[in-house]
């Protein structure tokens, strides 16, 4: 299958496990990745996800050029069947933290762009080489990248098809942290654990709003924000959190008793 799924507490880890092929994606791996995301989405015990690649050389170099790409080029396969793997249309509102080392190219780059927080190795290499081969990065990138960073930087990455460094992507605002390679995965898990300790309804509502409201007209977006906010304010997590906050405040205002 070459996609590993492991759960530790409230954090699920999904790993590309085909290091001998630089974690290149077979058709079956695309199916398995989508299934892993849906498993995490549907498991109420999972509150955050880490996405990583096995081995030292690559996070993922995208679709296997000997299988997946020929299937598309010969029109034997509909690219929309990869939607779940690219987190399209599956309502995945649990946060996904990406841990990148080595090569992150093509579909691998696209997988990273589908995640929420990106921690990358200082020696990682990034590229969207699709135009060099006559096709396009259509795993969400044509929509996502111009919404995530500045137009000029997005077009530079997509049109020029150049190799880029971690420092380049940090400057462009694509990634969150650049660290030595051996610190990347532990840091991604640290972030995931920290998020998993927060109110799950609040966290998922924030991500849902970020993904669904940005293209709405302003007044319509405000209306939908209010609906999402009301759902979060009235959930059990919020009620318990507010009760704890009030109790802590009451304890702080109590005057210490004095013995006579």
Distance, CA of 193 to CA of 95 (rounded, Å): 11
Three-state SS letters, 46-74: CCEEEEEECCCCEEECCECCCCHHHHHHC
Nearest to 35 by CA among 78, 1, 85: 85
Choose among 195, 239, 187: nearest CA to 46. 195
Q: What is the CA radius of gyration of the chain?
A: 21
What's phi and psi for 156, nearest 5 deg? -60, -45
Q: What is the C-alpha to C-alpha distance for residues 167 and 172, in angstroms, rounded to an integer?
A: 9
What's the longest Cα–Cα distance across the chain? 91
**Is residue 20 among the annotated active site residues?**
no
Annotated catalytic residue: which of 110, 177, 216, 220? 110
- Known catalytic residue: 6? no
- Considering the candidates 20, 130, 208, 216, report the single residue annotated as catalytic: 130
- Of 13, 20, 14, 12, give the one whose Cα is nearest residue 61: 20
Q: Which residues pair with 13 in a beta bridge?
A: 6, 50
The answer to whether 84 and 114 have CB atoms below 8 angstroms apart is no
Determine which helix (DSSP H) or strand (DSSP E) holds 6, and give its type and residue range.
Answer: strand 3-8
Residues involved in catalysis: 110, 130
């Amino acid at each position: 299958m070459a996609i590993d799924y492991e759960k530790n507490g409230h954090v699920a880890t999904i790993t590309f496990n085909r290091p001998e092929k630089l974690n290149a994606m077979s058709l079956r791996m695309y199916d398995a990745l989508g299934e892993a995301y849906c498993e995490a989405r549907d498991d109420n015990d999972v509150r955050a996800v880490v996405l990583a690649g096995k081995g030292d050389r690559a996070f993922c170099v995208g679709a296997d050029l000997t299988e997946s790409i020929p299937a598309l080029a010969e029109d034997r396969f509909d690219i929309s069947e990869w939607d779940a793997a690219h987190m399209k249309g599956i309502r995945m509102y649990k946060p996904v933290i990406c841990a990148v080392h080595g090569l992150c190219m093509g579909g691998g780059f696209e997988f990273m762009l589908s995640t929420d927080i990106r921690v990358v190795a200082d020696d990682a290499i990034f590229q969207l080489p699709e135009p060099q081969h006559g096709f396009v990065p259509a795993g969400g990138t044509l929509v996502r990248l111009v919404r995530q960073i500045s137009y000029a930087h997005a077009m530079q990455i997509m049109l020029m098809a150049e190799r880029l460094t971690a420092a380049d992507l940090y400057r462009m605002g694509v990634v969150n942290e650049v660290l030595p390679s051996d610190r990347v995965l532990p840091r991604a898990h640290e972030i995931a654990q920290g998020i998993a300790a927060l109110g799950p309804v609040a966290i998922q509502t924030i991500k849902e709003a970020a993904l669904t409201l940005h293209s709405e007209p302003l007044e319509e977006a405000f209306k939908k924000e209010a609906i999402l906010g009301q759902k979060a304010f009235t959930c059990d997590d919020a009620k318990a959190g507010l009760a704890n906050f009030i109790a802590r405040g009451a304890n702080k205002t109590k005057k210490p008793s004095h013995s006579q």
